[in-house]
Structure 1
Amino acid sequence: MSNANSAKAKSSGSFRLLLSYVFTDRPLFIKAVLLVIVATGFDVVGPILAKIFIDNFIMPNHYPLWPIVGIIVLYIATTVLGTFLHYKQTLKFINIALNAVLDIRRRVFAHVLKLPMAFFDHARTGQLVSRITNDTESIKDIYVQFLSNVLANVILLIGILIAMAILDIRLMLVALLLLPTVMGLIYVYQHLSGKIVAKTRQVRSDINATISESIGGMPVIQATNQQQSKLAQFDAINDDYYATRLKTIKIASYLLRPAISLLNILVLVGVVWLFGQQVVEGVAKIGVLYAYLNYLGRFTEPLGDITQRFSLYQQAMVAGDRIHSLLQEPTIQEHGTLAARIEQGHLSIEHLKFGYRADKPVLHDLTVDIPAGRFFAIVGHTGSGKSTLLSLLLNFYQPQAGAICIDGHSLDEFDHDTLREGVGFIPQEPFILASTLFDNIDMGRGLSQQAVAKAATQARLHDVIAEMPEGYQTQLGEGGLRLSTGQRQQLIIARALAGSPKVLLLDEATANVDSETEQVVQQALNQLRGKVTMIVVAHRLSTISHADHILVLDHGRLIEQGNHHQLMKLEQGRYRSMYQLQQQAKRIQQAESELA
């Protein structure tokens, strides 16, 4: 598909997305349109009443009391009722808009939650946040600022043309000539501004992404004295946003409101000159001229308003394209239907091959059998494929070849909930909710207080929580800063254990804790031996020396396996050299600390 066809398909998809909400609540939309029609009728009646007053009473110098009072009262009533109905109509469209934004934002966030991990490998957090917040908010403008105004103005234009035709068909034709000119201006504006508006939205996302990235990495930025470079990066993006926004404003200033105002003045001069001569010659009436000029002012005002709203329409459509493209991202395919609980936790990996890119495999023909309840460790240098293997065991990615089975069933056979209940994961970097300790362990699973306390006890965290003033209801704040690094890791272990998994995966779980906390974590894990199948990725080899079986990976290949004693007997073994190197570094560190 060509780029033009692709852009056209994307725009039509976003257009359908936006308009679908107009008819979601059909009765509400019909009520809003009826209010627009009735309010327009009241707007159109006013100048006709003024024309009758001028030609029938002022020009003949004839002022009967009750007819004049009746026209004045009717004029005031139509003005008040028209204003009130426009207010009610605006409320209806705002209701449609807010419901649309509410539902689109929910749909987008629900979709993001179902995207595969491969999507987040290249996605930027700030840009995703911008799509879910800023872009969905911009969509509101298409209903409130564009759809309601354009619809009301189109109906008003039709009403004014009908009223003009009643007054003088020739004057109506003069006004009608403005329409193709205005449509041409709108077409030129859309053609010139489309790419610039799209770039503006993208640069705004880049600003959000840069801010989010900088705030998240503030300790590193300040520690490495990168404040000025980050500020320079932000200034460049900010200046780019300013330049693109200025371009859209310039295009709008040339083609939208000022152009319509110029056309309005030219038509007004022509009408006053031609029609004024007829009034002087007695061919036409002053009331008709007044009413026409009134209608002409009202006629060009909706045209100017419509063209002005097209800048908002352009932004909303670009936002709609961005949201539509995000909604088109393929979600995790849940083919599995097996809902039976994982009972044993027997893992088997058969001829596994995987690469983030098909031409660059990370794991090569990996075959391992892990009996239920055993403690297996995975070691290797950086880039050997340890964390990738855990991601495959979690079914975050699909292998290019081979299979991973639990209790004889492929991971694809399990439904999502069953797999997540049966396989627990403890990452290297703890993810802590800005909520209570209880909520962080429960994670919305509806666990009882007893189940949460049991998990905390298994993670050796219950005594720490009991000493806190509010116990399990203690608020942790963002990032769990009220807990130490080791306690945060214990909290993540408690969270994983609360689901009673049969397979527990740990990715460098003790890499960021001190030796004392490491011992506490080790004691917590030792209690699970024989009950849970544990697969531990470790950098510190001393923490997995007591594992039942150790797998040594090198560039995605299994080069050694066995327990600690078996691997240490291999004179030229990779594991032995890694272990001895770490022990030597540990002894040097101890000696330096003693000398200090």
Structure 2
Amino acid sequence: MIPSSKSSFRKLIPNLVPYLKELATGAIFMLIYVVCWPILAWLAGRLIPAIGEGNLDVVLKIIGEALIVFLVQKLSQYIQDTVLAKPALKISQDIREDLFSKLQGIEIESLQKLSSGDITYRLTEDADRVGEVIYKTVQDTVPCIFQLIAVIGYMVYLDINLALATLFLAPMISFLVGKFGEKVLQTEERSQERISNLASLLAETIQIIPLIRAYGAEHWIQKRFNEEVDLHRNAKYKALKQLALQHPVIGFIEAFGILVVLAIGALRIQAGAIDGQGFSSFFAALLMLIDPISHLTTNFNELQQGKASLRRLKDIERAPREKSSDLTPIKTTTNKGEIIIDNLSFSYKDGNTVISNLNLKIEPGNKVALVGPSGAGKSTIFSLLLKFLVPQRGAIFIDGNNIALTNSRDVRSLMAIVPQKVNILSGTILESIRFGRESTKDQVINAAKIANAHDFIMNMPEQYDTYIEESGTNLSGGQLQRISIARALLDNPSILLLDEATSALDADAERSVQMALNQAMKNRTVLIIAHRLSTTQEADNIILLEQGRVKEIGSHDELMNKNGKYRELCEKQFIRNIKE
């Protein structure tokens, strides 16, 4: 169940505890700022009659006193705002860092259903909006509330009956602000959903611009983009209409209230309940209510927008998380790389069964190729080994450890994966191979040598400090793949997972990468997902999967001699003979 947005904002209050000193300092200067308002109203009450009487000395004296009060007030406001900005902005930072941390722990299956553009928007724009609401609450909303209390208190002091007549309009204004706020919240949620969709489409489009041009699909993608922009514009326009209507309605009520107060004030003066100077102070105080009411109205609308953003951030918090930190660590210190898959079955949440009663034993140091049609379960086996997915039945044992009962980080430390699509973050080559691990430069160089990457790295201008641009655009596909292999070998894993690591390369790049893979596979258990069966012939065992079951198993020669499905697939790829 989604908690109410109001209570969610209250849950952020403990984040302010480390900043009690700043909050206390800000509160002191806020108090000085607020107290200045009744003093200014009192001075205005003296100033107006003095102006009417033409008493220049008194007028100049009061103006001087008012300037001093204004100076003290504005200086206090500056100190208050700057001191309170730190804790408010720190909460925004904490929210973003906490959500990014939670993002690292979301179940892979759930994470893959989230749009990268939408996640990016939530952790940037939505987090910023929540931070702005917190800042405005601390820096503006709270002082405005205290200003209202102080000024109204002074008005009651001057004439309680006149003050009550003035405050009679307050419930009406509060009711209207609340109603408008509900509308703003609804329309803002729709607007933010639209901008997230737009961000998702934009992120996807940027990645495939070459493909769009190759197919001449510019007009089609432009049309889709324009439609999303138009939907966002319409949603945003509805939100702005709500805001545009609110200000004149509330402004009219405020103007009406002022006129009513003037009329009642005339009656009170006529009755002798208040004198001209007192009414001048009262009226000045009344005018001082307009600005904080306007601020509170605006801040209330922004609060509604912040609530919409907070709800979207809470969606990430509620996503299912991996449960592994409290599980047993790896028991053995001798990592051989033995894999046993015992009666394993797995189905996705949509009910699609991918693995069914699978039994396999892979000896340490063996090279095993997984082949078969798309959807046979090859990639799913990799995900199950890495604990990205959890089977519904059966178990996987690595070196005798049931990985379901073992800490996920420990399980993954035994393995490394070289994916088909190379994912390299921008940064230096050294950083890319380290990938956040505490390794010496010598260890990085050793991994690069095994991956056949050291020579080309040393020929680059900055060698290991060469900066890799976003998406690796300044390196070739073969160079990126060899860096990926070096990254995989850095921790000397006992199990290496190769997901068709050369399929996207040209012949020259494939040869250099294949040399790297041949060195990387020495003395390791290796599982290879292979669609091009020319890469499977050196495997100790080839496992042909169909609908999550083992259809055939054996060496290349054995399976070719069986005249079964594997031989049929090989012949389709023009691999006709037993290896010669």
Same fold (TM over 0.5): yes
CA contact (8 A) 1:421 1:500 kept: no
Q: Residue in 2 aligned with 1:475?
A: 467
Output the CA distance in 2 between the equivalents of 1:303 and 1:217.
Answer: 50
Match of 1:167 among 158, 170, 174: 158
CA contact (8 A) 2:500 2:528 kept: yes
CA contact (8 A) 1:505 1:534 kept: yes
CA contact (8 A) 1:10 1:324 kept: no
Deviations 1:89-129 (A, max 9, x none): 22233222211111111111111112121122211100000
Q: Residue in 2 aligned with 1:593?
A: none
Residue type of the alignment partner of 2:113:
H
- Is residue 242 of structure 2 the alignment partner of residue 251 of structure 1? yes
Residue type of the alignment partner of 1:481:
T
- Is residue 194 of structure 2 the alignment partner of residue 203 of structure 1? yes
How far residue 471 of structure 1 moved from its aligned partner, in angstroms, is: 1.4
TM-score when normalising by structure 2: 0.94
Question: CA 1:38–1:411 in 2, change beyond 3 Å: closer, same or farther?
Answer: same
Q: How does 1:216-365 map to 2 (within 5 A)?
A: 216-255=207-246, 257-279=247-269, 284-334=274-324, 335-339=326-330, 340-341=332-333, 343-357=335-349, 359-365=351-357
How far residue 173 of structure 1 moved from its aligned partner, in angstroms, is: 0.7
Q: After the TM superposition, which of the residue ranges 460-469 and 202-211 deviates more from structure 2?
A: 460-469
Q: Residue in 2 aligned with 1:37?
A: 31
Output the CA distance in 1 between the equivalents of 2:327 and 2:272.
Answer: 87
What is the alpha-carbon root mean square deviation over aligned residues?
Answer: 2.2
Output the CA distance in 2 between the equivalents of 1:359 and 1:568.
Answer: 35
Q: After the TM superposition, which of the residue ranges 494-503 and 233-242 deviates more from structure 2?
A: 233-242
Q: Residue in 1 aligned with 2:573?
A: 582
How far residue 69 of structure 1 moved from its aligned partner, in angstroms, is: 6.6
Q: Give the match's secondary structure for 1:152.
A: helix
Deviations 1:383-410 (A, max 9, x none): 1111111111111100111111100001
CA contact (8 A) 1:510 1:521 kept: yes
Q: Give the match's secondary structure for 2:552.
A: strand
Residue type of the alignment partner of 2:469:
G
Q: Residue in 1 aligned with 2:449?
A: 457
Q: Residue in 1 aligned with 2:173?
A: 182
CA contact (8 A) 1:18 1:320 kept: no
Output the CA distance in 1 between the equivalents of 2:26 and 2:545.
Answer: 67
Output the CA distance in 2 between the equivalents of 1:69 and 1:358.
Answer: 80
- Is residue 401 of structure 2 the alignment partner of residue 409 of structure 1? yes
Q: Give the match's secondary structure for 2:468.
A: coil
Q: Residue in 2 aligned with 1:137?
A: 128
Output the CA distance in 1 between the equivalents of 2:269 and 2:144.
Answer: 30
How far residue 283 of structure 1 moved from its aligned partner, in angstroms, is: 6.0
Residue type of the alignment partner of 1:332:
E
How far residue 26 of structure 1 moved from its aligned partner, in angstroms, is: 2.3
Output the CA distance in 1 between the equivalents of 2:44 and 2:521.
Answer: 93
CA contact (8 A) 2:416 2:497 kept: yes
Residue type of the alignment partner of 1:526:
N
- Is residue 550 of structure 2 the alignment partner of residue 566 of structure 1? no
Deviations 1:409-436 (A, max 9, x none): 0113333432232101000000112111
- Is residue 117 of structure 2 the alignment partner of residue 126 of structure 1? yes
Question: What residue ranges of structure 2 are gaps of 5+ in the alignment?
Answer: none
Question: CA 1:467–1:274 in 2, change beyond 3 Å: closer, same or farther?
Answer: closer
- Is residue 173 of structure 2 the alignment partner of residue 212 of structure 1? no
Output the CA distance in 1 between the equivalents of 2:434 and 2:243.
Answer: 53
Output the CA distance in 2 between the equivalents of 1:281 and 1:344.
Answer: 100
How far residue 368 of structure 1 moved from its aligned partner, in angstroms, is: 0.4
CA contact (8 A) 2:6 2:307 kept: no
Match of 1:84 among 59, 69, 75: 75
Deviations 1:437-475 (A, max 9, x none): 111111121212221111111111111112222211111
How far residue 503 of structure 1 moved from its aligned partner, in angstroms, is: 0.3
CA contact (8 A) 2:364 2:524 kept: yes
Overall identity of the aligned pairs, in %: 28
How far residue 208 of structure 1 moved from its aligned partner, in angstroms, is: 0.9
Question: What residue ranges of structure 1 are gaps of 5+ in the alignment?
Answer: 1-5, 587-596
How many residues were matched structurally? 575
Match of 1:158 among 144, 149, 155: 149
